[in-house]
Structure 1
Amino acid sequence: MSIPNEALQKLLVEIEQKAVFSQQQMGIVKSQMASKARETRMNTLTSTEVSSLPAGTPVYEGVGKMFVLTPTEEVKKRLETESEELKSETANLEKKLHYLETTYRTSRENIDQLFKRAGGGG
């Protein structure tokens, strides 16, 4: 049973578009993951520095164009919260990347199968 050329071509175009879209999205997600990795490193370095300060050391945080005296414990809590958020966001990006890689691979396999069928049956 052979598929008409028009339908085959339409199907091929749809699968190819899906593969291209997945590939573009993979690039975006990888870029986002790299950005989150940088943020995580900065967060870790800041946390290490703040933890090494003696008790009672004044700590200032930037707010816009000014600096505000903030208790060290508040800074540590904020850094811990940001760290957890970064872990969660990174895990979600990893899941999204895995889904996109699977979609891309499946699309490529479907294109290969279409060419084999068209070449052998048509």
Structure 2
Amino acid sequence: MSISNEALRKVLLEIEQKSAFSSQQLGIVKTQLAAKHRESRMLQLTANEVGVLPQGTQLYEGVGKMFIQTPSGEVVDRLAREKQALTDDVANLEKKRQYLETTFKNSREHMDRILRSAGPM
């Protein structure tokens, strides 16, 4: 059973669009992952610096254009919560990246298989 050239072109175009979309989304996810890793590193460095300060050291957090004195325990807790949120975000982005990579790979394989089975046009 042979597929008409028009139907074949339509299927190839659809697969090509899906592949291009996956590739574009993959680039976006990789950029987001890099940003999350940088943010995570900054949080870790901040937590390390706050951790070595003597007990009772006054800490100030920026809020808009002003600074508010905050107990060190609250700062450490906030940093831990932010770190956990970033870890969750990274895990979700990694799942999305794997899905997009699989989709892209499968689209390319389907396109190659269709082109090989169709022969010369």
Same fold (TM over 0.5): yes
Q: Which amino acid aligns with 1:40?
A: S
- Where 1:54 maps in the other structure, the secondary structure is coil
Distance in 1, Cα, partners of 2:7 & 2:63: 59
Once the 2 structures are TM-superposed, how far is the Cα of residue 97 of structure 1 from its aligned partner? Answer: 0.2
TM-score (norm 1): 0.97
Question: Structure 1 runs of 4+ off > 6 angstroms?
Answer: none
Unaligned 5+ residue runs, structure 2? none
Distance in 2, Cα, partners of 1:34 & 1:99: 18
- Where 1:67 maps in the other structure, the secondary structure is strand
Pairwise mapping of residues 22-61 of structure 1 onto structure 2 (< 5 A)?
A: 22-61=22-61
Distance in 2, Cα, partners of 1:109 & 1:74: 52
Distance in 2, Cα, partners of 1:31 & 1:15: 24
Once the 2 structures are TM-superposed, how far is the Cα of residue 117 of structure 1 from its aligned partner? Answer: 1.1
Give the match for residue 5 of structure 1: 5
Count of residue correspondences: 121
Pairwise mapping of residues 1-122 of structure 1 onto structure 2 (< 5 A)?
A: 1-119=1-119
TM-score (norm 2): 0.98
Distance in 1, Cα, partners of 2:71 & 2:2: 74
Identity %: 58
CA RMSD of aligned residues (A): 0.9
Q: Which amino acid aligns with 2:97?
A: L
Distance in 2, Cα, partners of 1:91 & 1:24: 20
Once the 2 structures are TM-superposed, how far is the Cα of residue 65 of structure 1 from its aligned partner? Answer: 0.5
